[in-house]
A and B are shown apart, each in its own frame.
Chain A
Amino acid sequence: MKTVIVALSMGIATAVHAQSMDPRFIDQKHAAEITGEQTFTHVCQGCHMADAKGAVGAGHYPALASNPKLATKAYPVVMVMNGRGGMPPFSMLLTDAQVADVVNYIRTHFGNHYADTVTAADVEPFRSTTPNRPRGHRP
C-alpha cells in the first residue's frame, strides 16, 4: 500500500519535537490518523462546500447532498481516485482506506443514508499504476 499524504513541500526528516497540532491543516506526521470527516472538511468542501450543496459559477460543482448518483458505491470511489473534468484525482494523496472513509462519510451524511459501506479492498482495484503526481509548476 502506498504511503499516506505525499510530502511535496519541503519535507523535514528530523522530527525532534511534536508540532503543536492545528486542526485546520493535516500534519504529515499524523496523516495516517485522519478520518473521512476530516478529509471532507480539509479537501472536499473546498469545491463541494461545507453543506455539500455544491456551487454555480461559469460551470458548477455538483452537490453531494442528497445525490442519487451516490447510490452506486463505486461511483464516488472512481471519482475520488481518478477525478473527472475539472475534478482532480486524489489517488496520490489518499490511501485506499482514506478513500473508503471519505466515501463512507459522504454516503452517510448530507441527506445520504446508504447502509452498504466501502472498504479499502473495494478501492484498491481502482488504483492506477501510473504515477500522477504534479510537477513543480508554481507560475
Chain B
Amino acid sequence: MMYQAMTSLGIAAASPYRPPTSLQGTGQGTVLVLGAGLAGMTAAYELGKAGYKVRVLEYNDRPGGRTWTLRPGDAFTELGGQRQVCRFDPGMYFNPGPWRIPYHHHGVLDYCRRFGVALEPFIQVNQNAYIYGKDAFGGKPQRMREVQADFHGGIADLLAKVAGQGGLDQLVSREDREILLESLRQFGGLDAQYRYVKGPDSSGHRGYAKDPGGGPDAAPAFSQPVGLSDVLNARLWTGLGMAEFYDYQPAMLQPVGGMDAIAKAFAREIGEGVIHYGAKVTAIAQDDRGVTVSYEDTASPGAVRREKADWCVCTIPLSVLSQIPIQVSAAKQAAIAAVPYMSSSKVGIQFKRRFWEEDDAIYGGVTMTDLPIGMMAYPSHGIGTKKGVMLASYAFFLEAYEFTAMNPDERIRKTIEYGAKVHPQFPDAFESGMAIAWHRVPFAMGCFGWWTDAAREKHYADLCSMDGRIVLAGEHASYLPAWQEGAVLSSLAAIDMVHRRAIEGARS
C-alpha cells in the first residue's frame, strides 16, 4: 500500500527502501536483537509486528544509540572518566550524533510518518553564512554569497571571453555558443557585454554595498566583486561545494525538539518490556538449535547472564563487536575486524543571545572554516527567540583526533577561542557547552564504519551475509556510512534474511 503510494508519487524508483509488508503476521519463534539503535529497533519493531517473540539487549539506559539528544540535566561520562552535565536552559537541546535527514532517506522519513514524529526544515544552505580562511582576506570571514557569486561570476566571465574569441568554435556549434553565452549571463551575473563587473547584475548575485531601500535615498550602491585570481588563490571556494552533494541538498529535515524523537517513537511502538537496558554483551554463540548471548548487567558487572533465542540480529558497532567473541565463520570474523571507525567531534554551545541572527542576519545554515573547529552550524529552530544552542564545532579526521585527545573543558575552551575568529561575540555570549568526541563515547567507540573501496570489495558481502542463525545490521552494513538510513535499510535487509531462513526451517 505504502509502496504503491510512493510509486505514484514517483519517489520509490530512486530508493532502495521498501516497507517490509511481506512479514505481516507470519513469524514464529524468538529473535534476540543486540543494540537498540535505529537498526536494532527497526528489526525489533518489524519482527515483533510479524509475530516473532523479540527481546533487545542494549548497553545504554536509553533507546537510540547514536541517535541521541542532550538536554538540561543529562549527564554523560566519556571513556577516561570525564563527566559532563548539560547546563542548558529548559527547552534547549543538542544532537551530538545524527542531526539532519536528507529528503531522499525514504526509510527514516517513512518511519517518522508512520510513528507521528514531527519534522521541520533543517537549514543546510545559508548564503549569508560565512566561509573563513585563516590566511584569506586578512582572516576576515567572507559571506558565502559573495564567495560563490565571485567564483561563478569569474568563471562565467572567463568562459564568455574564450567563447567570444572563438576559443570554443571547435567544441560547440554557433547556435550552442549563443545559448551558452546567454546561460553564462544568468549563471554568473554578467552584464550585457558578458562581463562580471561592479553593477546591477553582479550585485544581484553577491549583494550590495548598500541595499535597495525606500524613500528619497533608496537607490542601492553596488558592491565591488573580487577578481578571479584573488578568488582562486584565497581558496575559499573549497568551502562552497557541500550543498552540491546529493546528501546535503535542500530540503533537509530534522525532528522537532531533537533527533531522539525518532528513538523514543521506535521504543514506544516496540512496547514495554522488550528492550533490556544496561546489558553489556560479552559473547555470542550459536549451534544448529539456536543462539546464546552472554551479557553483564552494567549496574552489577561480573555476573554473566545468558539469553537464548532462535535467531540473532546483531547491530553492535564493529568497533565494539570486533572485541566480542562471536561464533561465526572466519570470513565474517575477518570482515568484523576489517572496518576501523572514523573520528569526529562536536561541541554544542548555548549562547545567551542569538548574535548570529541579531548581528549577522544568519538564520540557520552552516559556516565553513579552515580552523581546527571545522564547521559551525546555526540552529534551524527557535529563530527569533532569545537564546540558542549552536553546533559551534564539528571537526573530522585529524582535527577530531586532536579534539578527542583533550578533556571536554578544553574542547569547549578551544571552540570559543577559535570560534571568536569568525564570531567575536563567542566569549561574551557563552553560557554552557557539551563536547562529544565520538571515540570517547563508551557505547560507540568511534563515529562510523570507515569503509574503503578495497575493504568493501574484500569484506562487505561477508559482513552482510547471514551466518547460521546470526545476521548483522547497522550503518556499517550499508553503503550509507554514518547515516540513519543505512541503519534502517541494513536492518530491513537483515530481517528479510532471518524471516526467509525461519520459514525454510519451519518447512523442513
A, B co-complexed: yes
Chain A residues within 8 Å of B, Cβ to Cβ: 5-6, 8-17, 19, 22, 24-26, 41-47, 49, 55-61, 83-89, 93, 130, 132, 134, 136-139
Q: Which 7 A-B pairs have the closest CB atoms?
A: A57-B442, A86-B319, A46-B404, A85-B322, A55-B79, A10-B370, A59-B320
Check if B410 sits within 8 Å of A24, measured CB to CB.
Answer: yes
B residues 302-355 in Cβ contact with A at 8 Å: 316-320, 322-324, 337, 340-344
Q: Is the CB of A43 within 8 A of B405?
A: yes
Seen from chain B, the residues whose Cβ lies within 8 Å of a Cβ on chain A are: 59, 79-81, 98, 100, 133-136, 233-236, 238-239, 245, 247, 280-281, 316-320, 322-324, 337, 340-344, 368-370, 372, 374-375, 394, 396-399, 401-402, 404-406, 410, 414, 437, 439-446, 448, 450, 452, 454, 481-483
Partner of A58, one of B234, B316, B439: B316
Grouping DSSP codes into helix (H, G, I), strand (E, B) and loop, the A interface class, with mixed when no group exceeds half, is loop
Report the nearest B residue to A139, measured CB to CB: B482
In whole Å, how far is B390's beta carbon from the nearest beta carbon of chain A? Answer: 17
Complex Cα distance A8/B74, Å? 34
Does B134 contact A12, Cβ atoms closer than 8 Å?
A: yes
**Partner of A59 from B324, B342, B483 at Cβ < 8 Å:** B324
Check A86 against B340 for contact (C-beta < 8 Å): yes
Q: Are A58 and B320 in contact (CB under 8 A)?
A: yes
A95 to chain B, nearest CB (A): 14
- Asked if B238 and A49 sit within 8 Å, CB to CB, the answer is no
Look across to chain A and name the residue whose beta carbon is closest to the beta carbon of B240. A10
A residues near B437, Cβ cutoff 8 Å: 46
- In the complex, what distance in Å separates the CA atom of A15 from the CA atom of B286? 60
Query: Would B322 and A137 count as touching, CB distance under 8 A?
Result: no
Task: Given A59-B323, A59-B324, decide whether A10 and B402 contact each other with a Cβ distance below 8 A.
Answer: no
Contact B440 A46 (CB under 8 A): yes
**CA A19 to CA B139, docked complex, whole Å:** 11
Chain B hits for A56, CB < 8 A: 79
The reply to whether B318 and A19 form a contact with Cβ atoms under 8 Å apart is: no
Query: Chain A residues near B369 (CB, 8 Å)?
Result: 10
Nearest residue in B to A133 (C-beta to C-beta)? B452
Instruction: Check B80 against A134 for contact (C-beta < 8 Å).
Output: no
- Also in contact, A16 and B135, with CB within 8 A (given A25-B399, A42-B401, A46-B401): yes
- Give bound CA distance, A13 to B232, whole Å: 10
User: A86 near B405 (CB under 8 angstroms)?
Assistant: no
CB of A86 within 8 A of CB of B59, answer: no
Contacts of B397 in A (CB 8 A): 8, 134
A93 contacts across to B, CB distance below 8 A: 398
Least Cβ–Cβ distance between A10 and chain B, in angstroms = 4
Give the residues in chain B near A136, CB-CB below 8 Å.
245
- Residue of A24, A43, A83 with highest tally of chain B CB at under 10 A: A24
Closest Cβ of chain A to B455, distance in Å, is 9
Q: Which residues of A have CB within 8 Å of B343?
A: 46, 88
Q: List 20 A-B residue pairs with CB atoms under 8 Å apart, sorted by A's residue number.
A: A6-B398, A10-B368, A11-B238, A14-B135, A17-B135, A45-B405, A46-B439, A55-B440, A57-B320, A58-B442, A59-B445, A85-B319, A86-B320, A88-B342, A132-B452, A134-B396, A134-B450, A139-B247, A139-B448, A139-B482
